Amino acid sequence: MTFIILVLNLISLISPQIKIENAWMRNADKGMNTALYLDIINPTSRAYDLVNVSSDIAKVVQIHETYKQGDNLGMRKVESITIKGMTTFHLAPGGFHVMVIRLKENLKVGDKKEFILTFSNHLKIKIMAVVKDQ
């Protein structure tokens, strides 16, 4: 039994895990909205669904997609984003993003703020997003 547990622990240590990189937000003032961008790297063989993002810095945090509306771009809330196995999903300007609505504080360039990403299989990942001016 001990041996089996050891082997399972070892597998979880060496097997690839989903990870988040390049998390950043545009600077914005208290009461305003901003967006969080990041890369979700899924080196595993199965799909993961990002179902929720939360943070204490804003009243509302939603997953958004950008879509074409005639000649204009609109954006709307989506319930989840699927990250297929062995792929990287980019949340980037002009595409999917995390909408950070009604900031409770000013975000200055260089600040780092915490977000928690929740995936469909109860996986939660805590990240720090850096504030940039771009």
Strands 124-132 and 19-26: parallel
Alpha-carbon distance of 67 to 90, in angstroms, equals 16
Tell me which residue of 98, 112, 22 sits closest to 61, measured CA to CA: 98
Q: What does residue 11 show for φ and ψ, rounded to 5 degrees?
A: -60, -40
Closer Cβ to Cu ion, 18 or 61, answer by number: 61
Element (H, E) at 122: none
By CB under 5 A, is residue 61 in contact with Cu ion? no
Position among 38, 61, 91, 99 found at the interface with Cu ion (CB under 5 A): 99
Position among 40, 64, 96, 127 found at the interface with Cu ion (CB under 5 A): 64
Write out the binding residues for Cu ion, residues 74-93 only, by CB under 5 A: 75
Number of residues that bind Cu ion (CB under 5 A): 3
Stretch that binds Cu ion, among 47-55, 57-65, 100-108, 113-121 (CB under 5 A): 57-65
Residue 62 CB, nearest distance to Cu ion (Å)? 7
Write out the binding residues for Cu ion, residues 17-46 only, by CB under 5 A: none
Residue 113 CB, nearest distance to Cu ion (Å)? 17
Alpha-carbon distance of 134 to 112, in angstroms, equals 16
Distances, alpha carbon 26 to alpha carbons 9, 32, 81, 106, in Å: 39, 11, 22, 11
- The binding site for Cu ion (CB under 5 A) comprises 64, 75, 99
